[in-house]
Amino acid sequence: MDRNKFEVVLRTENKKIFNYLLKILRNREDAEDLLQEVFISFYKKMDNVNEKTYIPYLFRTAYHKSLNLIKSRKKKEKFSQHYEDLENIAKYEDKIETDDKSELIRKCMRKLPEKQAFILEMQFYQKMSYKEIAELLLTTPSAIDSKLVRAKKKLKKIILQEMKENPVHNSRGEIYE
Amino acid sequence: MSRIFKCKYAKKLNAYIDSELSKKEFTKIQEHLKDCLYCQKEIREINKINAFLSGYQNEDVPENLNEKILSSVGKHSINERKAIFLRRVSRLSIAASILFSLFSGIILSNITFSNNSTLSAENTEIEFAQDSLYDYLLVEE
């Protein structure tokens, strides 16, 4: 394994993966933990991954790892006696963090189904084509197209809901200028 | 007030904005947009969502996180090297034990063979002595 090559990939691509994780996970600690897991797992498999597909590979790993984390968290919360407390903490965290526009976007993205959020991330933020995303998810470009349409419609609903709950965002022109 | 009906081309608008349509389709939608109020409204909605998403500013990764990852990977390398070394040692020891059993087998079989031949020679000598004694006794009788 080429450690120097790994370090170059880590330093150039970590920001993209970290911000994707921030958008879909509830807190920073989870994003930081998963970022470490993603890169360590990448390091172990690096020799078997084509250099041209390093970035899609990293995103796919991040997607699957975050999906597992979200699922296990949902399961835990379902059986937790402190479910309501956790919810209240999350609400409180949301309240203190939504001053930041990026945090507001993250908050809305987190409410999207994981797959839709992933496709939106790949298309909108990573500028991947429908064809590239389709190859990554083993599906067709037209399926990606319809998923993106659904994702944006859902996102619109989420934003409108957010505006209703926190009119301050709208009055500051953060949503829908 | 004129009513706006849902348009069949609306589902192509997202791909139109993302430049994912063929040139022919792109021109078709472009022309269509001049007259269709529904699609014009849809385009505005998609642009609003895109403008909202554009407001995201990437955060930097905490520097200590890179160091943590690199040190974990370093540990992994050391562990892996240890594992490779142990694997090689175990393979070598298996090979050595096979060789040892082969050689010891050969040596043991040689010893047995030579022992057998010595024994058979001894047996022949004893038989010969017995025969001679028998002959002698017969003559004596």
Of the ranges A67-71, B76-80, B104-108, the best mean pLDDT one:
A67-71
Q: Stretch B60-76: mean pLDDT, rounded? A: 86
Assess whether pLDDT exceeds 50 at residue B23.
Answer: yes
Percent of chain A with pLDDT over 70: 80
Tell me the nearest-neighbour CA distance from A89 into chain B, angstroms: 23
Give residue A145's pLDDT: 96
Q: Looking at the complex, does the CB of residue A43 fall below 8 Å from at least one CB of chain B? A: yes
What pLDDT, on a 0 to 100 scale, did the predictor assign at position A96?
43
The verdict on B57 touching A (C-beta cutoff 8 Å) is yes
For B46-98, the three-class secondary structure string (H helix, E strand, C coil) is HHHHHHHHHCCCCCCCCHHHHHHHHHHHHHHHHHHHHHHHHHHHHHHHHHHHH
pLDDT confidence of residue A129: 96
Residue pLDDT, tens place only, A25-84: 988 999 999 999 999 999 999 999 998 899 999 999 999 999 999 888 877 766 665 445
pTM over 0.95: no
The DSSP secondary structure of A23-53, one letter per residue, reads HHSSSHHHHHHHHHHHHHHHHHHGGGS-GGG
Quick one: pLDDT at residue B121? 67
ipTM of this complex: 0.81
Report CB contact under 8 Å: A146, B53. Answer: no
Residues of chain A with CATH 1.10.1740: 1-97
Question: What would the two tokens of residue A118 be?
Answer: 């992933």
Residue intervals in chain A for CATH 1.10.10.10:
100-177
Residue A98 pLDDT exceeds 50: no
Q: Is pLDDT of B53 > 50?
A: yes
Touching check for B66 and chain A: CB below 8 Å?
yes
Q: Which of A43, A105, A159 sits opposite B73 (nearest CB)?
A: A43
Cβ distance of B18 and A130 shorter than 8 Å = yes
Q: Residue B135 — pLDDT band, cuts 50, 70, 90?
A: confident
Residues on chain A touching B6 (C-beta within 8 angstroms): none
| Structural fold of domain A1-97 | Rna Polymerase Sigma Factor; Chain: A (1.10.1740)
pLDDT at position B109 is: 82
The stretch A168-177 carries a mean pLDDT of 62
Per-residue pLDDT at A79: 63
pLDDT at A92: 44
- b/e for A1-38, b at 16 or more Cβ within 10 A? eeeeebeebbeebbebbbbbbbbbbbeeebbbbbbbbb
Over residues A153-172, mean pLDDT: 81
Q: Provide mean pLDDT across the span B4-12.
A: 86
Nearest-angstrom CA–CA distance, A42 and A7? 11
B121 touches chain A (CB under 8 A): no
pLDDT at residue B73 greater than cutoff 70:
yes
CB pair distance less than 8 Å for A146 and B60: no
Closest approach of A40 to chain B, Cα-based (Å)? 6
Is the backbone of residue A175 left (phi > 0), alpha (psi -120 to 50) or beta? beta
Select the CATH number that applies to the domain covering A100-177 from these four: 3.40.50.300, 3.40.50.720, 1.10.10.10, 1.10.230.10.
Answer: 1.10.10.10
Q: Is B60 on the interface with A (CB under 8 A)?
A: yes
Distance from CA of A109 to the nearest CA of B (A): 9
B2 DSSP 8-state letter: P
When pLDDT is cut at 50, 70 and 90, the band that residue B56 belongs to is very high
Residue B119 CB-density burial (10 A; 0-12 exposed, 13-18 middle, 19+ buried): exposed
CA atoms within 13 A on the CB side of A6: 23
Can you tell me the distance from the alpha carbon of A173 to that of A12, in angstroms, rounded to the nearest whole number? 33
